[in-house]
């Protein structure tokens, strides 16, 4: 069997960074399957040297491919509730060819070194792109419906999308999941409390917590616009996460997305409950979208301090200028320069793979894995700059 051997200035294997002081050679098959990582004295001859950092392919754990045509439709800085209203009411605006827009977005992700995506679908429309993509897609078919009596009907519609997606993509690659605490009723949460993997938009704004605590604040505007009568709803007196998480007893893995308004006590509560139930929590951060929608950043220091498993997501082109994990890391570095590059790369590779049930194939340079091999060039020390580039070698 023919092996390729390659050495960069640095190598991140998904867990650890190796540099010039303790270099490693990556040995892999033409197929991209990893054979070994060895010190130079053990690697033999025929090593190709390249400039830059070698690392496994990036995992984008939160995207909405089907919204790609909405690039640039919603202005920046609307705030969360206004953004939601605009997404719902302007979903048909933007590029007229939705499939082409999704195809270009898929290509953009591939060219930026993304190899696998956790993608939200409300419709079946993105299926042809996913089915023909170079990327691995794990599809979360989202269910929404805040009026309890509508739960069955909403579930029925989503099951149709689930059926269509899973027939083509495989049942293990698709899950039915709740959209967000402010859009999912208790009966719907109960119906979606099943074993396996789930994903939910969580604490995207403080207004979400306020609505759960007191039935006041910005979200009333959303329900008003939707013409929704809230007589059935009694506030819980607790933050959204502390309310809904106890309802989701069965999932093995929960991917919490955004977490902009998660407080220390929310994180403690969630970690404690997850430990009791042997559930794995992943905290997906989408800083580009948080900046776009509400000029804010997630409380990263808290998540790091409490040892949360962090992953990265781009969200959609309706709320971001690009679908690039490198750009998300660059933005985080601008706001949190203290975070080591290797730690961030771990979120973008190993943690992301684990969140999507891909921990045995993606996210690490380990024997038998096929994680994609990226060459990141133009770093300035640990810093990602405007001219930093990613090239997928395999
Ligand atoms: Zn989203």
Nearest one of 121, 79, 62, 60 to 257, comparing CA atoms: 62
Question: Does the pLDDT at position 88 exceed 80?
Answer: yes
- Residue 101: both structure tokens together: 């827009």
Q: Is 89 exposed, middle or buried (0-12, 13-18, 19+ CB in 10 A)?
A: exposed
How far from chain centre, in Å, is Cα 279? 18
Q: In angstroms, what is the span from residue 14 Cα to ligand 1's centroid?
A: 26
Q: How far apart are CA 260 and CA 285, in angstroms?
A: 8
Q: In angstroms, what is the span from residue 152 Cα to ligand 1's centroid?
A: 23
Predicted pLDDT at 1: 66
Q: In angstroms, what is the span from residue 315 Cα to ligand 1's centroid?
A: 5
Q: In angstroms, what is the span from residue 289 Cα to ligand 1's centroid?
A: 9
Predicted pLDDT at 207: 97
Predicted pLDDT at 2: 82
Q: In angstroms, what is the span from residue 286 Cα to ligand 1's centroid?
A: 9
Q: Is 10 helix (H, G, I), strand (E, B) or coil?
A: strand
Q: In angstroms, what is the span from residue 15 Cα to ligand 1's centroid?
A: 27
Q: In angstroms, what is the span from residue 340 Cα to ligand 1's centroid?
A: 27
Q: In angstroms, what is the span from residue 42 Cα to ligand 1's centroid?
A: 46
Q: In angstroms, what is the span from residue 240 Cα to ligand 1's centroid?
A: 17
Q: How far apart are CA 174 and CA 117, in angstroms?
A: 12
323 C-beta neighbours (distance < 10 Å), count: 28
- Residue 369: both structure tokens together: 């894995």
Predicted pLDDT at 90: 94
Q: In angstroms, what is the span from residue 164 Cα to ligand 1's centroid?
A: 21
Q: In angstroms, what is the span from residue 380 Cα to ligand 1's centroid?
A: 31
Which position has the token pair 């939160």? 62
Q: In angstroms, what is the span from residue 201 Cα to ligand 1's centroid?
A: 6
**Could you give the angle at which helices 80-89 and 206-214 cross, rounded to 10 degrees?**
100
Q: In angstroms, what is the span from residue 142 Cα to ligand 1's centroid?
A: 10
Q: How far apart are CA 56 and CA 114, in angstroms?
A: 10
Q: In angstroms, what is the span from residue 275 Cα to ligand 1's centroid?
A: 26
Judge whether 235 and 212 are in contact, CB under 8 Å. Answer: yes
pLDDT confidence of 378, banded at 50, 70, 90?
very high
Task: Over range 216-227, report the average pLDDT.
Answer: 96
Q: Do β-strands 10-12 and 17-18 pair in parallel, antiparallel, or remain unpaired?
A: antiparallel
Q: In angstroms, what is the span from residue 126 Cα to ligand 1's centroid?
A: 15
Question: Does the pLDDT at position 384 exceed 70?
Answer: yes
Secondary structure of 39-79 as H, E, C letters: CHHHHCCCEEECCCEEEECEEEEEECHHHHHHCCCCCCCCC
Domains and CATH numbers, the chain: 1-57+364-394 (2.30.40.10), 58-362 (3.20.20.140)
Judge whether 97 and 234 are in contact, CB under 8 Å. Answer: no
Question: Does the pLDDT at position 357 exceed 90?
Answer: yes
- Residue 166: both structure tokens together: 């899973």
Task: Over range 111-125, report the average pLDDT.
Answer: 98
pLDDT confidence of 109, banded at 50, 70, 90?
very high
Q: In angstroms, what is the span from residue 10 Cα to ligand 1's centroid?
A: 33
Nearest one of 166, 126, 112, 3 to 376, comparing CA atoms: 112
Q: How far apart are CA 394 and CA 392, in angstroms?
A: 6
Judge whether 363 and 349 are in contact, CB under 8 Å. Answer: yes
Q: How far apart are CA 167 and CA 171, in angstroms?
A: 7
Q: In angstroms, what is the span from residue 211 Cα to ligand 1's centroid?
A: 20
Q: In angstroms, what is the span from residue 319 Cα to ligand 1's centroid?
A: 9
Strands (DSSP E) along 148-245, which ranges?
174-178, 196-202
Whole-structure pTM value: 0.98
Q: In angstroms, what is the span from residue 120 Cα to ligand 1's centroid?
A: 7
Predicted pLDDT at 119: 98
Q: In angstroms, what is the span from residue 357 Cα to ligand 1's centroid?
A: 19
Strand order in the sheet with 196-202: 196-202, 251-258, 280-285, 310-312
Residues 6+ apart with CB under 8 A from 271: 281, 306, 307, 308
Quick: pLDDT tens for 250-294: 999 999 999 999 999 999 999 999 999 999 999 999 999 999 999
Q: Is 315 helix (H, G, I), strand (E, B) or coil?
A: coil
Q: In angstroms, what is the span from residue 259 Cα to ligand 1's centroid?
A: 11
Q: In angstroms, what is the span from residue 215 Cα to ligand 1's centroid?
A: 23
Quick: pLDDT tens for 165-221: 999 999 999 999 999 999 999 999 999 999 999 999 999 999 999 999 999 999 999
Q: Is 252 helix (H, G, I), strand (E, B) or coil?
A: strand
Q: In angstroms, what is the span from residue 82 Cα to ligand 1's centroid?
A: 15
């Amino acid at each position: 069997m023919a092996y390729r051997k390659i050495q960069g200035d640095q190598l991140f294997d998904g867990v650890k960074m190796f540099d010039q002081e303790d270099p490693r050679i990556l040995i892999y098959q033409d197929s991209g399957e990893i054979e070994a990582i060895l010190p130079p004295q053990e690697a033999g001859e025929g090593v190709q040297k390249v400039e830059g950092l070698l690392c496994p392919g990036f995992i984008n754990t939160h995207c909405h491919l089907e919204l790609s045509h909405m690039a640039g439709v919603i202005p920046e800085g609307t705030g969360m509730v206004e953004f939601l209203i605009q997404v719902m009411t302007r979903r048909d605006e933007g590029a007229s060819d939705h499939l082409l827009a999704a195809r270009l977005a898929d290509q953009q992700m591939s060219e930026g070194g993304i190899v696998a995506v956790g993608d939200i679908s409300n419709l079946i429309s993105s299926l042809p792109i996913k089915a023909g993509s170079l990327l691995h897609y794990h599809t979360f078919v989202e269910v929404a419906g805040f009026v309890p009596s509508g739960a069955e009907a909403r579930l029925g519609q989503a099951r149709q999308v689930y059926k269509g997606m899973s027939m083509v993509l495989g049942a293990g690659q698709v899950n039915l999941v709740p959209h967000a605490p402010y859009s999912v009723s208790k009966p719907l949460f109960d119906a979606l409390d099943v074993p396996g993997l789930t994903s939910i938009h969580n604490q995207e704004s403080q207004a979400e917590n306020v609505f759960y605590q007191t039935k006041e604040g910005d979200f009333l505007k959303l329900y008003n616009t939707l013409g929704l009568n809230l007589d059935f709803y009694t506030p819980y007196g607790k933050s959204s996460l502390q309310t809904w998480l106890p309802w989701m007893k069965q999932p093995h893995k929960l991917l919490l997305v955004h977490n902009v308004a998660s407080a220390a006590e929310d994180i403690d509560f969630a970690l404690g409950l997850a430990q009791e139930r042997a559930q794995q929590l992943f905290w997906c951060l989408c800083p580009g979208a948080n900046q776009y929608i509400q000029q804010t950043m997630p409380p990263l220091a808290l998540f790091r301090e409490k040892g949360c498993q962090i992953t990265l997501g781009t969200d959609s082109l309706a709320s971001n200028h690009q679908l690039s994990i490198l750009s998300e890391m660059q933005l985080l570095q601008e706001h949190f320069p203290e975070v080591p590059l290797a730690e961030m790369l771990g979120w973008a590779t190993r943690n992301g793979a684990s969140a999507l049930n891909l921990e045995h194939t993606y996210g690490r340079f380990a024997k038998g894995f096929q994680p994609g091999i990226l060459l990141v060039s133009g770093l300035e020390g640990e810093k990602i700059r405007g001219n930093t580039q990613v090239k997928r070698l395999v």
